[in-house]
Structure 1
Amino acid sequence: MRDSQQGKLPMQARDHAIEIQHAPHAPIALFDEQGRLHGWSPAFADDCGHSTLEFRDRLIGHIWPEFDSAGWREIWRKVQRDGDATIVHVLARAKDGTSSEVVELEIGRFISLGRPLAKIEIRRSATRRLHLLQQEILQAMATGVPLTGIMETLCRRVEALAPSVICSVLSVDRQQQLRHVASPSLPVHYSSAIDGALIGPKMGSCGTAAFRGEAVEVTDIETDPLWEDYKQLALPLGLRACWSSPIKGADGRVIGAFAFYYPRSRGPTPLERQVVATCLHLCTIALEHEETRSRAYEQAFTDPLTRLPNRARFQQRISETMAVVAETGQRIAVQYIGLDRFQAVNEMLGYSVGDELLNVIASRLRSIVKDHDAVARMGGDEFAVIQVGDFNEHDIAKRALQVIELIGQPFLACGQRLELGASTGIALDTDANTADELIQDASLAMRRVKEMGRGTYFFYEKELNARMQARRRAEADLRDGLSRQQFELYFQPILDLQRFAVTGAEALLRWRHPERGMISPSDFIPLAEQCGLIEQLGSWVVREGCRAAAQLPADIRVAINLSPMQFDRPGLVRTVAAALEESGVEPSRIELEITESVLLHDNDVNVATLDELNDLGVTIALDDFGTGYSSLSYLHRFSFDRIKIDHSFIRDILRNEGSLMIVRAIVMLAHSLGLVVTAEGVETDEQLAAVRGEGCDSVQGYYIGRPMPLADFQVAIGNSRGASVTAA
């Protein structure tokens, strides 16, 4: 019981209400020795289901019949004599007299204007309020609210639920440092002072709890040795006690700390312990989700060897910068750097030495840029640097020479003195409209340097369009292939892990070129998107996929890939509807696969298109999940039926714990939202066992079956079912 001091809850005789200064949401009322109601908070009236007028001249027995005159007098004497709180359990009743649940009342002594009263606080609905809190926090995670916003909401709701506490949430990073996440009621300077502190045996309540892996209750900050180095930070703020509990991940690792601060020396109440138990569970979910999201983002946008941004992030960065400089009038230059003689080093000294040299190069390039994202590894032995500002060609050339000289400095590896050179291509935003064009122009210029002798720089010029001419020839080939019906669909089986039978296939496009042979989609789909042929090609795939499905058994589903570019053009829904009608296939047997790049636009057109496709009766799958920015808000806002985990995570699932944890998190998330999960790229029996153990619903990959023509797929299905019948 927290004894109230005179003046803390002043009476307002005019309307018999209590002004709650420190607990505006607390359901509190005051009673005299005869059990007559003297005042109450709005929350008390709400909890009891009565209006202010209905409370006038009420006795405690009118509200809770369990209190008869003798019983109330006994409680009164005990409270006034001892000064300690008394806990009583009663039935909560509605206005009509019906009872619902058992609630807890905390009865304590209270002095108002020199008059002794009893203060009753309803400790009801803690379970209900915590359930609502849990729903609110989980919904915030599902809608993509940032971690800081989620945890600040949690703290504020907890502070309303458990008055007089100040709530704080910290995370623990990989360097075992405390990181501030949320503490809306603490001053910024206090939170900043804690941020970055190492956990340890005498690091206040939070740092010690994280270090020990167990709760730490400090009832007096001023005298407790754990706070020796931090009490001068807390005491001036009126913080007298602190109870901190470690937040642990599913693997038992401490990932954060959840703390209650108190304005007076005391420990936690039973209610506060119940609140903290719920909050620790919510914090675990939120922090682990943030870790998973961060790892997925890192894997998608970071080069694993040098830890530099990769090509995807660099291209994203240029796009962002181009949007900014369009308003400021500044210039952008991209230097595309290719190492000279690097392959010879690899062949002579081995790949481990080559990797070491790449890391040294990355470190040197970092040293000359202020912004982390301004330098990237583009792949292999190629790097790129972006320069933004008010500069001329001379300034850019000077910077290029600086980079070449920096890379040319000698290395020591395996006891040998090594020297590498660098060829640099430079492209300006005046020659390009998009980030992709700017990078391509700089890359072309770099290749021109290598042709001319290496070790210098070259500006991109319009004459360097041979590649564009080759692209035009490829575009003509593509158009010719469409008109001559050189394209065909191959079908890769999808295995249902519950039935352990093939229940579907993904339709994969192939180009059978008369001179170049079979061409992979990765070689011609980007070209089709760039030259505007993707709509025609995509429409053919949809029609052919539906036609093939109609020739397969009724329990076999066919998955058809849609390009993001198809969403940018009208008529996609009409195309799918016409293909369904022409083929006569049941819509539920067709699954349309889209990638996260469609969702990044997140505009009304894409939302409406997905909804209209869903209305046709087809199912929608989110392909390559986890390779882009996998926000939970996608799953909340769009109508999906299936998530397909990208093969990169499956490939590393047995040797990379991070990939395993990501697969586990995706499966748990999908199943909690009622979605089916397919694992792509399963190539071994061990990988199959792993994804099956993590709860994936279906799999596809070379281990299940390679892509094959429709006729071969029909034979394969017939053979597998014949074998099943024979075995039966």
Structure 2
Amino acid sequence: MTATTATSPLSDPLTRRVKALELAMENLPVAVGLFQLDGRPLYLNRSFRDFYRVEERWSEDITFAEMISSGAFWDWKNDPQVFFERLLATLKRDGVFEAQNDIGGRTVFIHDRLLEGDLILTTQRDVTDQVKAEKRVSFLASHDVLTELPNRATFNDTLDSRIAEARATRRKLSLLTVDVDRFKDINDVFGHAAGDVVLSAMAERFKQCLGPDDIVARLGGDEFCFLSSGANQPESANLLARRLSEAAKAPIHFNGHTLKVGLSIGLAVYPQDGKDRAALLNSSDAALYRAKAEGRGVIRSFDSSMDKRMHDQRILQRDLQGAIARGELELHYQPQATVDCTVYGFEALVRWRHPSRGLLGPATFVPVAEESGLIVEIGEWVLREACREATTWQSPLKLSVNLSPVQFRHGDLVQLVHGVLLETGLNPTRLELEVTEGVLVRDFSRALYTLRALKALGVQIAMDDFGTGYSSLSYLQAFPFDTLKIDKSFIARLAKDHHADEIVRAVIGLGRGLNIPVVAEGVETDLQRSFLEREQCQNIQGYLIGKPLPIGDYGALTDPSTEMDEIEAQPVPRRQARKA
């Protein structure tokens, strides 16, 4: 007897494949629908039903257009019947239809295909997040992340386009370059978070100041650019500049602090100040440079003298690049003395013997060197050469060397000084390094760390140009300077300006109270020296003691074996010949 075994429907291979296919289609993350040409659905998978909010039991007797019209689907902006007829026409012509539509607040990519048997297969994918991400990437590529203003690349493209339009229409175009005054101070004192708040606040205020034909962009740091292409240029641009300056004055609040900034603005006009983007930006930068040089909160328009200055600066920078290699730099030394004119040391001052311009003082080329970064190489040469020279003096006089704020931001200054001292053999106690407040303003914490490390080497630290800054007292509290140098601008007005007299008295009294020796710079007359002596100022420096000269001219002071008649031949007063 043969047993009969019942066969399960799923045991049939074809049935299993069909069921597996249905299961796969039902769980696809892509919406899939199969329609007849009249719009009646034959199959809608779960993703399709969920997206269009179709009940599980949907009817094959109602068309796609009728479903939309009845409200079963998302609200449809266009006539669904017209849409379906156009879709059908496209499919019959091309066999395929693709579109990216906004449906119910979402972005959907639709791919429809005409199949054999007069069927339409539609696959629809929600690409909302992808589209948002792509738009964000595209936006960030052309805008500044912090302020969401156009960035440099976008602004350059816009400026090129506007210049072309202005050239075609023979109209003027104004370009404003803007720097935020005191921004670096805020960044250094309160941190980058405060700086970001300032930049964001400025960006919002700037946008409120724009006219219909104005554009603003952030080029980087605290630098913004404005393009004014409306009528009445440059009058309209000047009016915009004044609105910007006024808007920037309102205080900004950050973590309980009230922050105040201003603007320095440079203005250039197409075509007279530049006929292309590069020339116009250079002219605007030159005007901004002049504005910053004349003080905070200044608006300056470009003029031809600025162009000549920029040209001269570029040539000077080019020539300066090889000055050390060509042996064109040299050091002059100015004596430093006690108030009774006893010389105790020299300050090393760099000079540049230019092949065509002659001997140039530091005021001519040091600013160029600092802007270009060449001051790092020059400063290293000055330090090494001065220390080497000081080791040859028979008398162990003090040596003072100036440091630029740029040197604190580039390279390892402590390692440099340590290496030069080891290389030259100079006793660290003889070396005094002079710094200005600019060293501390840029990056207070880093500068303070560097100054402490330098002092640990055994060298002394002097604050130069004391009294010209606005926060010197806080710096004296933070770091124990060995010397305070009163700026020569105050000494020049002694006995002529009551305020200058009082300022000098105050600084001398401050140094006495803190037990910090004070040096008065720029002493040129015995009247000034007498005033300082009465006020118990310890030390002086200036033409009364001696001009900056090659060290050979002060051989009587560096070599104690020199005869007295040789000392009298030196270009300094006789009484200063006494050695410290």
Q: What TM-score do you get using the length of structure 1 for normalisation?
A: 0.40
Higher relative contact order, chain-length normalized (CA < 8 Å, sep 6+): 2
The structure that has the greater radius of gyration is 2
